[in-house]
Amino acid sequence: MSMSHKLFLEAQKYLPGGVNSPVRAWRAVGGDPLFIQRGRGCRVIDADGQEYIDYVGSWGPLIVGHAHSQVVRALGETLKRGTSFGAPTPREIELAKILVEAVPSLEKVRLTSSGTEAAMTALRLARGYTGRTKIIKFAGCYHGHSDALLVRAGSGALTFSTPDSAGVPEAFASQTLVAEYNDLASVEVYLKAEPAAIAAVIVEPIPGNMGLVLPKPDFLAGLRSLTRAYGVVLIFDEVISGFRVARGGAQEIYGIDPDLTCLGKVIGGGLPLAAVGGKRAIMDLLSPLGPVYQAGTLSGNPLAVTAGIETLKLMGSPGAYARLNELGSLMAEGLRAAIQDSGIVACVNQLGSMFTVFFGVDQVQDYATATRSDTQLFARYFQGMIDRGIYLPPSQFETAFISLVHGEAEIEETLAAAKQVFLSLRS
């Protein structure tokens, strides 16, 4: 019996499902989850001492790899001075300045401890600013687990085929309208029907929670035009894409100026940290300046802020994003070639250091096409890769991540494993 299996049996006695976040339980791929005891660079080692090339990266934050010496050293120095004070600290300002200078649409930011909090706060701000109540989200886009947003969500909800959650009052869900990603007409229908009721449109500009899906040309620009025409707040949820696809996120790549932006993952460097930011006129509605209340005991705590600052400093080095793009393209091209050689039906979506292999479909551009994927085939792929020392997200509907410390050797090893697994899937 493996140590991971023993630990999972014990965990189930004390933790619901044996985990603290659903996808970690491996229900979608079968078998017992690996319990990770340490990470270094682009590799993780499980409780049995087995080593894997890691493409989970703590679900995106570890863009400079595990236990980077500069981040660890800075955290050690910060730890000596204290972990949290519940009071302002100078480094909060330092991080806020980095965010405002890097992300084109930000004029002010409020730090939170999770992406869920950031998205929840963004919606509250939009409602406070407009005096309206309804919001539009997109099928398959995940914005955290607050009540109003667990309606046809992606990620874990999609993995378990339960896109809505028990415990969410119908009255809350009724304020959330669900449009189709990459379909502007589905948004415009709502706006025309209730022009005085809709406060915000919230979107992952590059969805990562139904697997990686890319926006069609002019989709995001069209959203910006529609929301301006109807006086609706446009919220970009860049918890995944922010500082991952570019220093200024998706809005830098596509040249869009949203009203509010949610950030997370990379900006905390692996520690719990997120932010909501945007136009001064909206952000200044937050308490203590305005009537929109938000608070958090550990928001902007010194450890998380330090990890974020050091990570963003490292990502500011010349060529960092060009290198990630190079590695991502190498991975995607190799996977597509291996798929073609194997004769299986699958496609690869990739942007920068993010990629997803979808099985049983030849194109994925929205929730409907993502959900046509062959999840059983994905499970076989996942287990085959694990057996060959490659640690991927344990769900068809999650995005894999490459870090700056992955190299050509790791990509080649991964592609060699994938070729073997793809061939085995034909039987």
Pairing of strands 354-359, 176-179: unpaired
Query: Please, which pLDDT band fits residue 150 given cuts at 50, 70 and 90?
Result: low
pLDDT of residue 172: 73
pLDDT tens for 383-399 read 999 999 999 999 999 99
Rounded Cα gap, residues 172 and 345, in angstroms: 40
pLDDT tens for 318-372 read 999 999 999 999 999 999 999 999 999 999 999 999 999 999 999 999 999 999 9
Query: What's 11's domain CATH number?
Result: 3.90.1150.10
* H/E element, 351: strand 346-351
Query: What is the distance of C-alpha 252 from the center of its chain?
Result: 17
Per-residue pLDDT at 163 exceeds 50: no
Total domains, the chain: 2
Same domain, 258 and 353: no
Residues with a catalytic annotation lie at 142, 237, 265
Rounded Cα gap, residues 46 and 33, in angstroms: 10
Residue 181 belongs to domain spanning: 69-315
> Which residues, in sequence order, are bridge partners of residue 246?
242
> At which residue do the structure tokens 């140590």 appear?
3
Same domain, 7 and 151: no
Same domain, 342 and 298: no
pLDDT of residue 152: 57
Rounded Cα gap, residues 164 and 307, in angstroms: 34
Q: Are 216 and 206 spatial neighbours (Cβ–Cβ below 8 Å)?
A: no
Per-residue pLDDT at 267 exceeds 50: yes
pLDDT tens for 72-104 read 999 999 999 999 999 999 999 999 999 999 999
Looking at residue 298, the DSSP 8-state letter turns out to be T
Instruction: Kindly report whether the peptide bond that precedes residue 288 is cis, defined as omega within 30 degrees of 0.
Output: yes
* Percent above pLDDT 90 for the chain: 92
Give the domain-ending residue among 315, 334, 366: 315
pLDDT of residue 151: 65
Give the domain-ending residue among 298, 315, 332: 315
pLDDT of residue 161: 36
Same domain, 281 and 332: no
Q: What is the mean pLDDT of residues 7-11?
A: 96
18-27, 170-179, 264-273, 367-376, range with the lowest pLDDT: 170-179
Rounded Cα gap, residues 100 and 85, in angstroms: 24
CB burial string 9-40: b at 16+ within 10 A, e below: eebeeeeeebbeebbbbbbbbeebbbbbeebe
pLDDT of residue 165: 67
Q: Which of 66, 29, 30, 68 is nearest to 51 (CA)?
A: 66
Per-residue pLDDT at 155 exceeds 60: no
Pairing of strands 36-40, 43-46: antiparallel
Query: What's 176's domain CATH number?
Result: 3.40.640.10
**Residues near 36 by beta carbon (within 8 Å), at least 6 away in sequence:** 44, 45, 46, 47
E strand segments, 268-345: 274-278
Same domain, 379 and 306: no
**Residues near 279 by beta carbon (within 8 Å), at least 6 away in sequence:** 105, 107, 259, 260
Rounded Cα gap, residues 201 and 220, in angstroms: 11
Residue with more model confidence, 148 or 240: 240
Give the domain-ending residue among 315, 339, 364: 315
pLDDT of residue 166: 75
Same domain, 96 and 127: yes
For residue 272, the one-letter residue type is P
For residue 35, the one-letter residue type is F
Q: Locate 178 and state its tokens.
A: 């669900």
- Give me Rg for the CA atoms of the chain: 21
Task: Give, in order, the Cα–Cα distances in Å from 33 to each of 18, 112, 233, 387.
Answer: 10, 29, 40, 13
Q: Are 394 and 350 spatial neighbours (Cβ–Cβ below 8 Å)?
A: no
Q: What is the mean pLDDT of residues 138-154?
A: 77
* H/E element, 117: helix 115-130
Same domain, 159 and 307: yes
Q: Which of 125, 124, 128 is nearest to 147 (CA)?
A: 124
Q: Which of 224, 225, 223, 205 is nearest to 215 (CA)?
A: 205
Same domain, 38 and 177: no
